[in-house]
């Protein structure tokens, strides 16, 4: 139905021009869902940020039937056989750009890219140019406030036509439909987006109150269609995992070749939506209720020029392939992982071979193996011999616990120092601006720095004696290093590079234990008591703090004045007993940050406005909640007023 318009293009254009003239004459008649809003917004100087009502998560991957079976086993351990009884909803995994559409009372009020999952880029005018996205939903029964999640994509046919037109116009062609779709969404001028052949498929709904407009995922897809939102074809409700396997096989080997858009797999979801909250999320990133069943990735042939070596910050000796540049899935690949030395031996990879390369999970290029028929039979290249000594410091390498891995045991190895300091200074860690790879190499070669603690002993006078350092740049870097001392414990933990401890785990550990000393003395059981913390992280943390070198480093950092605790939010009680409603996009605070600020200071945040609401905090693009507050006479304030109330009460 959505693919069969009732009007011809000519009829649509005539009516569109008539509406434009009417709105120009009577501006007050223009509504939020007017078709004229699809195009025509003036180019913006930059893309504003948008905080999603509910985080947009990433899916874990299953590359085989066995891995899909393992996913089902994990689900069963958590909710028993309830998931299997409800079956599974299977959907195509569209190869496009994930977006979120905010509808309030059925009207599209905002649209954004996924971004980091919490904050995306606001691209509302650009999304309005996609005619398949309804500006006002059909029918009734849709939630008052919700985000419709979906994928913007570019059909192969439209992509080819667009590139043909660009060739005729003497313009460079685009590499692939996926990148073209993402790029079109992020144009500052919506008119550019309107000229690109973008399409959209919806696949889920997220509500701030956790509600869902259907009991089953498969039914929800029908509901989305009834609202006028397009949903991808070839979806299926499978009663068993065997049926899921059969569906995936049919899509990969038959359906995929007949589609006019790209897919990189299927998505398998627990069909019973009531089970989703119980299944939860892994690491704040991947929902357990769904998994991406990835299909065989694109494969290309090229020549393996050289097997190179990288020394990691833990001393791992990591081989990788230097390749003749080759395009795979629209991306030029020149390097690929080789994992370990035993894999190189098992595959009999040799420098000079023609090899097959794939992009595993559509992200990391990997060498599948050589193409034996293309190896020179008369003068075959010699078998590859793994290194015996560290290429950086010359120390004899030792085998690791993992199969085929080699390690440099010298903790003073310059390459390890370089990688450790580079990681320590990273933006997500201590965020030392201006401390790049080349500068760290300078410091190590000049014997100024041996570990991260030595950074804090650097002086402008020392730096100005090095190449490419003037007094101003030397002072700026020393000041930036000194400023990083104030970073909280969570950032310091991440910066120290404890194995298996990522950004989320570092924050959890810091918030739970509060101080470095408390964490250092914690046992595995204490760490496992933290919700979501697993055995692997607990063992890694204990092993790191048990090393004498780690304890020495901590003491060196302590003497240099780094922050060894995690600041706890102070409560002023400014909102004690108050009920607060948030609406719109605030200037600096995300929705979660504003909620935490209010709750820490004694208030309660609710999703609906009533006479009992103490006040409403309104930001940009505030919707019906603001109108209701005004109608009821409820006090409305902005973000600055909110912060003033907290600070005034604290003072």
> Apex CA 513: angle with CA 512 and CA 519, to 5°?
135
* 313, 420 contact by CB (below 8 A): yes
Strand 281-282 and strand 286-287: the pairing is antiparallel
Contacts of 80 (CB under 8 A, 6+ apart): none
* 189, 46 contact by CB (below 8 A): no
Distance in angstroms (rounded) separating the CA atoms of residues 96 and 103 = 22
Q: Is 388 helix (H, G, I), strand (E, B) or coil?
A: coil
The three state secondary structure string of 232-259 is CCCCEEECCHHHHHHHHHHHHHHHHHHC
Is 630 part of the annotated catalytic residue set? no
Considering only the C-alpha atoms of the chain, give the largest distance between any 2 of them, rounded to a whole number of Å. Answer: 90
- Residue recorded with tokens 């922050």: 563
The closest of 498, 426, 420 to 453, measured between CA atoms, is 420
Strand 281-282 and strand 635-637: the pairing is unpaired
What are the C-alpha distances in Å from 145 to residues 89, 528, 634? 25, 38, 20
Joined tokens for residue 88 = 């599974």
* 104, 207 contact by CB (below 8 A): no
> Apex CA 646: angle with CA 640 and CA 648, to 5°?
95
Asked whether the CA dihedral 466, 471, 477, 479 is positive or negative, the reply is positive
Active-site choice (85, 93, 396, 625): 93
Other residues' Cβ atoms within 10 Å of the Cβ of residue 500: 14
The three state secondary structure string of 607-632 is CCCCCCCCEEEECECCCHHHHHHHHH
The backbone torsions φ and ψ at residue 3, rounded to the nearest 5 degrees and listed phi first, read: -95, 5
Helix (H) or strand (E) holding 520: helix 516-520
Distance in angstroms (rounded) separating the CA atoms of residues 84 and 72 = 8
The three state secondary structure string of 40-104 is CCCCCCCCCEEECCCCCCCCEEECCHHHHHHHHHHHHHHHCCHHHHHCEEEEEEECCEEEEEEEE
Residues paired with 484 in a beta bridge:
none
Residues paired with 366 in a beta bridge:
337, 358
Residues paired with 364 in a beta bridge:
360
> In sequence order, what DSSP letters do the residues of 571-591 get, joined into one string?
P--TTTT-EEEEESB-SS--H
The per-residue b/e assignment along 604-616, b for 16 or more CB within 10 angstroms, e otherwise, is ebebebeeebebb
Joined tokens for residue 317 = 């000796």
Q: Is 543 helix (H, G, I), strand (E, B) or coil?
A: helix
Catalytic site residues? 93
């Amino acid at each position: 139905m959505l693919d069969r318009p009732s009007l011809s293009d000519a009829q649509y254009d005539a009516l569109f021009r008539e509406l434009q003239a009417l709105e120009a004459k009577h501006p007050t008649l223009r509504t939020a869902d007017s078709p004229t809003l699809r195009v025509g917004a003036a180019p913006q100087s930059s893309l504003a940020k948008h905080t999603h009502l509910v985080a947009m998560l990433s899916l874990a991957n299953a590359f085989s039937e066995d891995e899909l079976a393992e996913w089902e086993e994990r689900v069963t351990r958590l909710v028993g056989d309830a998931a299997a009884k409800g079956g599974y909803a299977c959907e195509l995994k569209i190869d496009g750009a994930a977006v979120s559409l905010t509808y309030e009372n059925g009207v599209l009020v905002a649209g954004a890219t996924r971004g980091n999952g919490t904050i995306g880029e606001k691209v509302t005018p650009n999304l309005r140019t996609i005619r398949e996205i309804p500006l006002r939903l059909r029918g009734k029964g849709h939630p008052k406030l919700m985000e419709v999640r979906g994928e913007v994509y570019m059909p192969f046919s439209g992509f080819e036509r667009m590139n043909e037109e660009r060739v005729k116009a003497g313009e460079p062609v685009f590499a692939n439909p996926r990148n073209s779709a993402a790029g079109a969404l992020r144009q500052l001028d919506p008119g550019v987006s309107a000229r690109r052949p973008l399409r959209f498929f919806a696949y889920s709904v997220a509500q701030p109150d956790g509600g869902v407009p259907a009991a089953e995922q498969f039914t929800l897809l029908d509901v989305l269609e009834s609202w006028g939102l397009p949903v991808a074809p070839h979806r299926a409700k499978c009663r068993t995992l065997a049926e899921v396997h059969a569906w995936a096989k049919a899509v990969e080997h038959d359906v995929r070749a007949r589609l006019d858009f790209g897919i990189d797999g299927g998505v398998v979801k627990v069909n019973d939506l009531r089970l989703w909250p119980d299944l939860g999320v892994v690491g704040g990133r991947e929902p357990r209720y769904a998994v991406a069943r990835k299909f065989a990735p694109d494969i290309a042939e090229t020549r393996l020029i050289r097997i190179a070596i990288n020394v990691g910050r833990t001393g791992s000796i990591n081989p990788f392939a230097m390749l003749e540049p080759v395009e795979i899935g629209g991306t030029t690949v020149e390097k690929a992982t080789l994992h370990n030395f035993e894999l190189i031996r098992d595959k009999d990879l040799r420098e000079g071979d023609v090899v097959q390369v794939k992009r595993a999970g559509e992200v990391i290029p990997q060498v599948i193996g050589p193409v034996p028929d293309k190896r020179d039979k008369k003068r075959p290249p010699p078998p590859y011999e793994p290194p015996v000594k560290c290429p950086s410091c010359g120390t004899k390498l030792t085998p690791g616990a993992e199969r085929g891995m080699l390690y440099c045991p010298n903790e003073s190895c310059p390459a390890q120092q370089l990688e450790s300091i580079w990681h320590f200074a990273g933006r997500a860690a201590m965020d030392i601006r201006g401390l790049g790879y080349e500068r760290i190499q300078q410091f190590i070669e000049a014997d100024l720095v041996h570990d991260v603690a030595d950074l804090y002993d650097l002086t402008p006078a020392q730096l100005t004696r090095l190449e490419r350092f003037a007094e101003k740049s030397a002072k700026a870097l020393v000041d930036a290093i000194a400023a990083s001392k104030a970073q909280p414990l969570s950032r310091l933990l991440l910066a120290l590079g404890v194995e298996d401890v990522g950004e989320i785990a570092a924050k959890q550990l810091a918030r739970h234990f509060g101080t470095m000393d408390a964490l250092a003395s914690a046992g595995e059981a204490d760490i496992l008591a933290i919700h979501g913390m697993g055995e692997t992280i607990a063992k890694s943390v204990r092993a790191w703090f048990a090393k004498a070198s780690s304890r020495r480093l901590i003491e060196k950092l302590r003497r240099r004045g780094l922050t060894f605790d995690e600041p706890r939010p102070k409560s002023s009680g400014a909102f004690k007993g108050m009920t607060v409603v948030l609406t719109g996009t605030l200037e600096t605070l995300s929705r979660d940050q504003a909620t935490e600020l209010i709750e820490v200071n004694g208030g309660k945040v609710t999703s609906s406005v009533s006479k009992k609401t103490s006040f409403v905090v309104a930001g940009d693009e505030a919707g019906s909640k603001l109108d209701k507050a005004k109608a009821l006479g409820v006090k409305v304030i902005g973000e600055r007023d909110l912060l003033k109330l907290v600070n005034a009460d604290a003072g």
